[in-house]
Structure 1
Amino acid sequence: MATEADTCRKFVVPKLQSAGWDSDPHSIAEQRTITDGRVVPVGKGFIRKPPTRVDYLLRYMRDFPLAVVEAKAAYKTAADAVQQARTYAEMLGLKFAYATNGHDIIEIDYFTGKETHVTDYATPQELWARYQAGQGLGKVEVGERLLTPFNHTGGKDERYYQQIAINRTVEAILKGHERLLLTMATGTGKTFVAFQICWKLWSSRWNRTGEHRRPRILYLADRNI
């Protein structure tokens, strides 16, 4: 009997590659861990549940994912993967998701609210264009600035919720919002998030006047240095 791994190897990956998701700067992150397993007390100790992983995360750029793909074994239906695909897409703040059994593909579009049976996966360019239209990113330079890479000096990768906070904040600023509030708990990386927001705006030469120069940024911290 064909397994989920068989579905991924024989059907999902080849179709994703044909759609261009494996061509630089786009990429396919396979079995991407979203969260570590939950710690559950047992007697005087504890056990850790399995981590939460998506089958495939489709990234337009390294720091800007667009969709998830959830696969099931061929003897199941694509519909069996829909709820899980939706759960992961919503956790990651994504607007697109795919559910498949290898043969049938269901595309979930959060802009339209529709689930559609499709024969192939959308290309990176197609999904990016739909994302820009859905989010109202009319100007080309807005999209280009939004895709500015994070600073990866030191090799530290952002957590999924940090990536969401960074990209959503930068997008709101680029769309002209002047007052924003991020609420983050202690230990969730507020300084890291603030730095990456500043880095993206600095690197893309965004400023409120529209001039081609780097912005001036005032960084206030509630601590003594």
Structure 2
Amino acid sequence: MDKRVPTERDNCSKLIAPAIQKAGWDLQTHISKEKALTDGPTIVRGRLVARGKQKRAYYVLYLKPNIPITVVEVKGNKHAIGEGMQQALIYAKMLRVPFAFSSNGDGFVFRNKTRLPAVMETQIVLDKFPSPEVLLRRHEAWKGMSKTRAIIPFHI
């Protein structure tokens, strides 16, 4: 595949999204693209009121509807592979998820805030993106839960 992709959007659609889907994440049930995380700051000037720019994660991946597990932040090819990690970590904290990814289309930098295993940040190639099952197992180990308990909705 031609790696000279000019924009972040092209990077997402031609490289990142296919890698995520290949790992077993379903576009309809597991992936939310350009997910708005905030409404944006309220800007007041005299009698005029407007909203500022929203904070949006490129991808939020879900185990089930309304149960997020990770955030993926994407940058263009001119940026370093991990350049979006700080932004991804902010979004992960907002969503209270333990995993964050950053990518520029060359691969992924994976931040595992659970510290299980002890390595917190690793670089992985595009075709080795972790499946939902892999992240669920890591999350279960971190929380000390069984698989069935980890995905039961809170309100039940």
TM over 0.5: yes
- 1 or 2, which has the higher strand percentage? 2
- Which consecutive residues of structure 2, in runs of 5 or more, have no partner in the other structure? none
2:36 and 2:56 in contact (8 A); partners too:
yes
1:54 and 1:68 in contact (8 A); partners too:
yes
Which residue pairs with 2:59 in the alignment?
56
Q: Secondary structure at the match of 2:40?
A: coil
- 1:44, distance to aligned residue in structure 2 (A): 2.2
Letter in 2 for 1:98: F
Which residue pairs with 1:44 in the alignment?
47
The two structures, once aligned, show a CA RMSD in angstroms of 1.7
Moved over 6 A (4+): none
Max Rg structure: 1
Matches of 1:122 and 1:146, distance apart in 2: 18
1:77 and 1:104 in contact (8 A); partners too:
no
2:8 and 2:74 in contact (8 A); partners too:
yes
1:32 aligns with 2:35: yes
User: TM-score, with normalisation over the residues of structure 2?
Assistant: 0.87
2:140 and 2:150 in contact (8 A); partners too:
no
After TM superposition, list the pairs within 5 Å mapping 1:176-191 onto structure 2: none
Letter in 1 for 2:121: E
Which residue pairs with 1:128 in the alignment?
136
Task: After superposition, give the CA deviation of every residue in 1:92-151 in whole Å (9 maximum; x if it has no partner).
Answer: 1000010000112100000116111011211000000010001111xx3xx3244234xx
Which residue pairs with 2:113 in the alignment?
110
Matches of 1:98 and 1:72, distance apart in 2: 11
After TM superposition, list the pairs within 5 Å mapping 1:1-225 onto structure 2: 2-22=6-26, 26-112=29-115, 114-119=120-125, 120-137=128-145, 140=146, 143-149=147-153, 170=154, 197=155, 200=156
Matches of 2:150 and 2:140, distance apart in 1: 10
- 1 or 2, which has the higher helix percentage? 1
User: TM-score, with normalisation over the residues of structure 1?
Assistant: 0.61
Task: After superposition, give the CA deviation of every residue in 1:172-199 in whole Å (9 maximum; x if it has no partner).
Answer: xxxxxxxxxxxxxxxxxxxxxxxxx3xx
- 1:46, distance to aligned residue in structure 2 (A): 1.7
- 1:77, distance to aligned residue in structure 2 (A): 1.1
Matches of 1:33 and 1:54, distance apart in 2: 7
